[in-house]
Amino acid sequence: MGTMQLERNSITRLGRSAAVVMLTCIACLTRLHAAEFQELDTDRDAFTPATTTTKVGTVLTEASYVWMDNRGLPATNSFPELLVRFGVRERFEWRCGFNIEQNAGGSVVTAVEVGEPPEGETGGEEANLLYGFKLRVTDQAGLIPRSAAIVEAFTPVAGDVWGTEPSATYTFGWELPAAWRFDTAIRYARAESEEGWFDRWMPSTVLRIPMTDRWEVHAEWFGSWTEGLANDKVQPFVSPGTHFMLTPSLEIGCRMGWGLTRDAAGYFVDAGAGWRF
């Protein structure tokens, strides 16, 4: 009986010790959860780019796959939508990327599309290199928003259109109570089509709502307006989306949207990830 009692006492002490260890781990993880899961602020998360630059000494890699249901034309497949951002200064980052687009339909739903196919047609396959920089311009102070400027160029490496296309974006926004964020942006691209060079203006606005420290949802409106084509196009979209942080350095997310005019794609879906190292 004495031996059995000692064994029971040992098991009880072991169970108590295990419980203490588990509770300690949970408490530590809870503290780490709040401290470590900070937003990566990927630009691919929405059409509206983040108002921040990536941290100094880190590399933020973003990629996604996009499918667009073009009205009356074959669907567009766009991948890998690769964007690599290098944090070299507190307010400055270099950025480069690469993308392939099959059956380009003319609708612009991500930051790596600016061209226009021939009227009533879709291209075969286009591939572009992206390169440029992003500069954080202001920090939020009262009514002054946090803002950033992006200057990029897109150089075709395959396809029917070969002119390098410059693009400039200014994005700004405010962090609201409960950590909600309201951001807006205006993007301009000097793009090329079969008809020649034309202007493309792309405004957008997004409301981002954190559900937990790791999960965020957003609602967005964005659009594309062309000037200089024989038949200029107006292509507005509404788009909900979400992302979830698997680790403090890795997030996955998806977004979808619906075109509001006959010029715009009827529907699109975008799934991707961001990884900082």
Give the integer Cα–Cα distance in Å for 112 and 153: 10
pTM: 0.84
Distance CA 76, CA 109 (A): 11
CB 80 within 8 A of CB 112: no
Same domain for 156 and 212: yes
CB 66 within 8 A of CB 77: yes
CATH number at residue 77: 2.40.160.40
* Digit-coded pLDDT (tens) for 21-32: 444 444 444 444
Distance (Å, rounded) from C-alpha 224 to C-alpha 260? Answer: 11
Same-domain check for residues 9 and 95: no
- At residue 114, the pLDDT reads 64
Whether 91 and 159 share a structural domain: yes
**Are residues 178 and 145 in contact, defined by beta-carbon separation less than 8 angstroms?**
no
Residues 31 and 62 in one domain: no
Q: Tokens for 234, please give them.
A: 């107006």
Beta strands in 40-180 (DSSP E): 59-69, 76-89, 92-102, 125-138, 146-158, 165-175
123 and 9 co-located in one domain: no
- Decide if 216 contacts 181 (C-beta within 8 A): no
| Greatest mean pLDDT among 29-38, 44-53, 154-163 | 44-53
CB atoms within 10 A of CB 92: 16
**Which has the closest alpha carbon to 68: 202, 231, 256, 228?**
256
Q: What is the tens place of the pLDDT at every residue in 168-188? A: 999 999 999 999 999 999 999
Task: Report how far residue 254's alpha carbon sits from residue 274's, in angstroms, rounded to the nearest whole number.
Answer: 11
- Please determine, for residue 35, whether its predicted confidence score (pLDDT) is greater than 70: no
Q: What percent of the chain has pLDDT over 70?
A: 83
Shared domain check, 216 and 126: yes
Q: How far apart are CA 200 and CA 227, in angstroms?
A: 6
The predicted-structure confidence for 70-118, as pLDDT tens digits, reads as follows: 998 899 999 999 999 999 999 999 999 999 999 887 789 998 776 666 5
Do 24 and 90 fall within a single domain?
no
Shared domain check, 118 and 21: no
Domain of residue 16: give its range.
1-36
Same domain, 248 and 265: yes
Distance from the first to the final alpha carbon of the chain = 59
What are the backbone dihedrals phi and psi of residue 25, each rounded to the nearest 5 degrees, phi first? -65, -45
Residue with tokens 């290199």: 129
Specify whether 148 is located in the same domain as 220: yes
What pLDDT digit, counting tens, does each position of 208-239 carry?
999 999 999 999 999 999 999 888 999 999 99
Q: Which residues of 46-71 are buried (b: 16+ CB within 10 A; e: fewer)?
A: bbbbbbbbbbeeeebbbbbebbbbbe
SS3 string, 219-265, reads EEEEEEEEECCCCCCEEEEEEEEEEEEEECCEEEEEEEEEECCCCCC
Do residues 207 and 99 share a domain?
Answer: yes
Statement to judge: residues 32 and 89 lie in one domain = no
Check residue 237 and give its pLDDT.
98
User: What is the count of structural domains for the chain?
Assistant: 2
Q: CB-based contacts of 5: which residues, under 8 Å, 6+ apart?
A: none
pLDDT (average), residues 4-21: 45
How many CB atoms neighbour CB 16 within 10 A? 10
